[in-house]
Amino acid sequence: MKLVMLGAPGAGKGTQAKRLAEKYRIPHISTGDIFRSNIKNGTELGKKVKGFLDSGALVPDELTVDLVMDRIGQEDCRNGYILDGFPRTILQAEKLTEALQGKGGEIDWAVNVEVPDEAIVERMSGRRMCPSCGASYHVVNIPPKKEGVCDQCGAQLITRPDDEPETVRKRLEVYHQQTQPLIDYYKEKGRVLDVDGTKPMEQVFQAIVARLGE
């Protein structure tokens, strides 16, 4: 089973990807992990990636696809994989399709975890973290025993800059600009599996599994 995970920041697609990977015993693959692994191991592809990152440039689509294809060609991906955070652009999706077709394969499903923007803003702006011990909370879902105070070490909890409402809305704007074309791309191929991400995590997971029919 070869899956692509789609979903806005805070939609919960990463959590679902990990659970699906465990259930189907296939690797959960992110481009960030691939970059770090190749750089750490000093591969030729890793050296190229490091050169772009060190200069502050974006890693070109062609190189990113080469890295992904190298990763999914490994033995642990023989029965499938879950791509999380890739493809990010139409060009990457097209190049991935071409590369897979060259090997006689294709993506089975693009799992699109749908959550309205305002629900995501509410979710993310409710996050709190402890700057001292790193413990995570949420004002609604995982509240601390004492408001604004870490249960573990007693430090004052903070809102990360990334979780400020305005920042979240800007990230969502970029996401929609980049990802809506991707959703349309896979819909044209009849490969999109839409799931309601506003429901509890377990219900979302069960809905995806039911739709995959496995």
Establish whether 18 is a catalytic residue: no
> Catalytic site residue 127?
yes
Distance, in Å, from the CA atom of 214 to the CA atom of 212, rounded to the nearest integer, reads 6
Give the residue extent of every domain in the chain: 2-116+167-212
Predicted confidence pLDDT, tens digits, the chain (214 residues): 999 999 988 898 988 999 999 999 999 998 888 888 899 999 999 999 899 888 887 788 889 999 999 999 999 999 999 999 899 889 999 999 999 998 888 999 999 999 999 999 998 999 999 999 999 999 988 999 999 999 999 999 999 888 899 999 998 998 888 888 999 999 999 999 999 999 999 999 999 999 998 6
Catalytic residue among 13, 71, 123, 128: 13
Whether 88 is a known active-site residue: answer: yes
Range list of β-strands (E), the chain: 2-7, 28-30, 81-84, 109-114, 127-129, 136-138, 192-196
- Catalytic annotation present for 160: yes
Choice among 36, 103, 160, 189 that is catalytic = 160
The superfamily CATH assigns to domain 2-116+167-212 is: P-loop containing nucleotide triphosphate hydrolases (3.40.50.300)
